[in-house]
Amino acid sequence: MAHDIPASSDRAYDVSKTEDEWRGELSAAEYHVLREAGTERPFSSSFETDTTEAVYACRACGSELFRSDTKFDAHCGWPAFYSPLAEDRVEYIEDTTMGMKRTEVRCANCGSHLGHVFQGEGFDTPTDLRYCINGISLTQEPVQG
């Protein structure tokens, strides 16, 4: 069953900082991915295959974005999820770079780049979506219990 990917919202971000402030808080690699829409090297994040029961939050602002119960191994080189924690946690931006049309995923709380979402790839997930997220853009908080 296919699901439509929502269009981007034009709302203001709750967390708003200057680029100099972001540079002061993030490492060079984190800044490149989160603030310049870069991509980490494939297979460089331990989160890709990590099976810890956890909540994944935006590294830039701490907003909770994904849960481990929606994470799956897509063998793509980056952590993959089939759904965000809630639709208001992320925003979607049309991305036409690299000669193709893709949907960029950003943190709705601070506007930081997380990765991209793809639809219709045939994964056996409830949504038929693959949120391909840069591990460097996330923090992991293990669930206690």
Instruction: Round the average pLDDT of the chain to a whole number and report it.
Output: 91
For the segment 6-54, what is each residue's pLDDT rounded down to a tens digit?
Answer: 444 456 789 989 999 999 999 999 999 999 999 999 999 999 999 999 9
Of residues 58, 61, 110, 132, which has the active-site annotation? 132
Dihedral (CA of 131, 133, 138, 142) sign: positive
110 is annotated as an active-site residue: no
Structural domains of the chain, with CATH: 19-142 (2.170.150.20)
**What's the rounded Cα separation, in Å, for the pair 74 and 35?**
25
Token look-up 């203001």 returns 12
The pTM score is 0.89
Q: pLDDT-derived band of residue 95, with 50, 70 and 90 as boundaries?
A: confident
